[in-house]
């Protein structure tokens, strides 16, 4: 089996649509701690129609950002999103240290954000705090297991065999460390 060299990239931004930019701003900047770094207000011909919108960028570290669009026209907002209802499987995962995760958890609690908007899972390889933002996006803040490098190295050696096994119909679990 051939291997392709890893591409040297980093995330510029990941974009979503919201109907309430101020709620999104307050959530990310005031509670989570991602500063607002840019607000772009635009009037552009997109997809055959002139659209009026803004998008805001929130710094997540290393020059990478989350971006959110808000449309001035309700028809545009309906057309472009959010595309799907909130789901625990469509999410953005951020790697943080324990102190950062604890701080986010505490600020969420102080802001009155609790279950079912937040929940915690121990995946075995990481410990995750999940929270739905005001736009319906699920954000995961993960703290890696102390042995994550070895765990990842072990899983890399079996990744293709496990995929083949699953696709062949053997759906037995292979995460013995997973705890609820």
Architecture of the domain made up of 84-180 = 2-Layer Sandwich (3.30)
- Per-residue pLDDT at 11: 85
Contacts 24+ apart (CB under 8 A), 58-61: 58/25, 58/28, 58/29, 58/34, 59/34, 59/35, 60/34, 60/94
- Per-residue pLDDT at 6: 64
Question: Domain ranges in the chain?
Answer: 1-83, 84-180
Of 87, 86, 51, the C-alpha closest to 70 is 51
Burial 102-132 (b: 16+ CB within 10 A, else e): eebbeebeeeebeeeebeebeeebbbbbbbb
CA distance 45 to 134: 28
Does the fold of domain 84-180 match that of domain 1-83? no
What percent of the chain is predicted at pLDDT more than 90?
A: 52
CATH topology of domain 1-83: 2,3-Dihydroxybiphenyl 1,2-Dioxygenase; domain 1 (3.10.180)
- Per-residue pLDDT at 12: 85
**Tens digit of pLDDT for each residue in 134-155?**
988 889 999 999 998 998 889 8
**Tens digit of pLDDT for each residue in 51-72?**
999 999 999 999 899 999 999 9
pTM equals 0.81
Distances (CA, A) of 167 to 2, 158, 162, 164, 170: 21, 14, 9, 5, 7
């Amino acid at each position: 089996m051939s291997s392709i060299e890893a591409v040297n990239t980093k995330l510029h931004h990941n974009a979503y649509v919201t109907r309430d930019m101020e709620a999104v701003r307050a959530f990310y900047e005031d509670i989570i701690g991602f500063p607002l770094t840019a607000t772009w207000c635009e009037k552009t011909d997109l997809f055959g129609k002139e659209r009026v919108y803004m998008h805001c960028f929130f710094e997540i570290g290393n020059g990478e950002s989350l971006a959110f669009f808000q449309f001035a026209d309700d028809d545009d907002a309906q057309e472009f999103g959010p595309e799907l209802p909130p789901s625990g499987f469509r999410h953005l995962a951020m790697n943080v240290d324990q102190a950062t995760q604890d701080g986010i958890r505490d600020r969420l609690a102080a802001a009155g954000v609790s279950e079912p908007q937040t929940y915690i899972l121990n995946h075995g390889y990481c410990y995750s705090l999940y929270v739905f933002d005001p736009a319906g996006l699920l954000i995961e803040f993960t703290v890696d297991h102390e042995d994550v490098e070895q765990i990842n190295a072990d899983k890399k050696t079996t990744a293709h065999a496990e995929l083949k096994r699953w696709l062949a119909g053997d759906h037995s679990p292979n995460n013995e460390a997973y705890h609820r």
